[in-house]
Structure formats: C-alpha cells, structure tokens
Amino acid sequence: MTDLLQDLAPQALELSRAYCHALTRRAAKNFYYGLMLMPEPKRSAMYALYAYMRLVDDIADEPDGRTVPERVADLEAWRVKTHAALDGAVPDGEALWPAFAQMASQFNMPRKIFDDMIEGQAQDLHPLTFATFKDVHDYCYRVASVVGLASIYVWGFTGGHATEALAIDRGIAFQLTNVLRDLAEDTGRGRCYLPADDLERFGVTTADLQSRTGGQPFLDLMNFQIARAREYYASSAALESFVPPDSRPTLIAMTQIYRSLLEKIARHPERVLHQRVRLGNFTKLGIAWHAMRSAKRRGSKA
C-alpha cells in the first residue's frame, strides 16, 4: 500500500474529514455521543468509519426505488471501490474515500472486516428469516461485530485474538438490542430477526408480530431475548480493560447507551410493538459525561 498519509492531497483530505464528521453528526444518533469523546486522530478516523458504514447501509436500505438487482450491483461496485481504497488507489468523485483510505492505512485495517460488512448488507437485500440463534449470531457478526473489530483497531488494543472475541460479543449485544428496539419496523418490512425456533418455543408467529399482538407469549419471548442480550454484555465486560485510556470513554458511553436502551425495553417490552424505543439527547449526553468521568477516575487509580 502506498503511504496515503503523504500521498493524499491535504485539501481533499480535509474536505473528506469534514464530510464524514457532518454525516456522523447528522445520522449517528447513539454513536455520535460516544465518538465525540475520542481524541484526534482517532475521532476523525471513527467518523470516517461511521460514514463508510452508513453509506453502504444506504445502498441496501435507502427507500429510493432501486431494485434488488440494482442494489446487488451497487454493493459489488462498492466492494471494488473499497478494495481500491485499501490498496492505496483512492476512488474519485465521492467525498468519503480520502478519509476512509487514510483511516484504513493509518490503523492497518484488515480487509476481511469490510468484506464481511458488505456481505451483511447483501444479506439484508432479501426477506430475512433465521431458523436458529446461530443464524442470527452470524448475521449480527456481519452487521455489528465487524464494527466493533474495526473500532478496536482504531482505538488500539492489547490481548490479541481474545480481545477481538470480546469485541465480537459486544457487537452481538448491541445488535440484539437493535433487533428488539426495531421489532415493529422490521416486521412491517417483512423482516424478522428473531430465531424461528424461539418463536415456536414461545408460541408466537411472525403474523402475531406483524399485527403487533402482545400478551403473555410475546412477553415471555421478549424476556428470553432480553436475557440473551444481557449475557453478551456480561461476556464482553472485560473489553474496556484492553483498550487504551484515551478510548475507554467512547466504549463506556456507547455501551451504556445501548445497555440503557435494552433496560428501557425490559421495563415495558410491549412498547416495541408500537414505537421505536429511544433515549433522549440529554440522557445520552449525561451518559457520555459520566463515561468520561469514570474513565478519568480509573486512570487516576492505575
């Protein structure tokens, strides 16, 4: 790979970074409140990573009238551009690529992360059903755990493959939270991210979800899924210990935001049938502030 830090035109790189920051601030919602705690150059790298994820997600999901074959072709074109950027040949004509290419070069991003990310978006192009939790887990890895892996490469980490496994589990926890939060929206679009064997076990059908039918079977199903997500938060609890102090506030804040969403769902599980559960901006800012304070206290005791 060429030395992108030297070869990229400073003006193009500055404009690209500004574009990624603006996109992240506008669209990231939960992520932005954690990312703004990062020091530079990690903060700009995370904006570039988020912008990349958002744009490839839009190829699969943006309601712009494109057909499935057109989206498949666009994802393949995106893969080609991604590989070019990773190889040091920055694609022309789109604001994302200079900042993305610098991020990937500066932090030695493995190509497989982005290939898996694109594969996850390709999977979203077809009506989704999952027979077992293993199927759900594999999907969550492609759309969320790869983000966790990319993030720890930006942040820096110790512990090798064991830490990567923790990041994978944290990504699973985040995506399982998303699945429960977005249940009504997803089933309304013909997508069900809950395992078919769990639905059968608790006596809930996809038709029940589409008609937004609550009741005890639904509550039992939701409580089971909530417990499973909590297990992944617990299994990845050591992750913060393996990232450097300057990155911990972001990880702590993002985790607390998603964990708080899960616990808000747990208090009234049937709410997800009728609305998207959210945290207010003041709540998220408070979480970010407490995460920063918590990380500083931990650092002072080290």
Model pLDDT, residue 300: 44
Dist. CA 180–CA 221, nearest whole Å: 11
pLDDT digits (tens, 9 = 90+) for 79-132: 999 999 999 888 888 899 999 999 999 999 999 999 999 999 998 888 778 999
Dist. CA 200–CA 206, nearest whole Å: 10
Model pLDDT, residue 173: 97
Model pLDDT, residue 38: 87
Structural domains of the chain sorted by starting position, each given as residue range(s) with its CATH number in brackets? 1-108 (1.10.600.10), 127-302 (1.10.600.10)
pTM greater than 0.75 (yes/no): yes
Considering only CA atoms, which of 262, 130, 120 is closest in space to residue 206?
Answer: 130
Model pLDDT, residue 296: 55
Helix (H) or strand (E) holding 19: helix 10-27
Model pLDDT, residue 292: 61
Model pLDDT, residue 220: 98
Residue segments in the chain with a per-residue pLDDT below the cut of 70 = 1-8, 280-285, 287-302
Helical ranges in 87-182 per DSSP H: 97-106, 111-123, 133-140, 146-155, 160-181
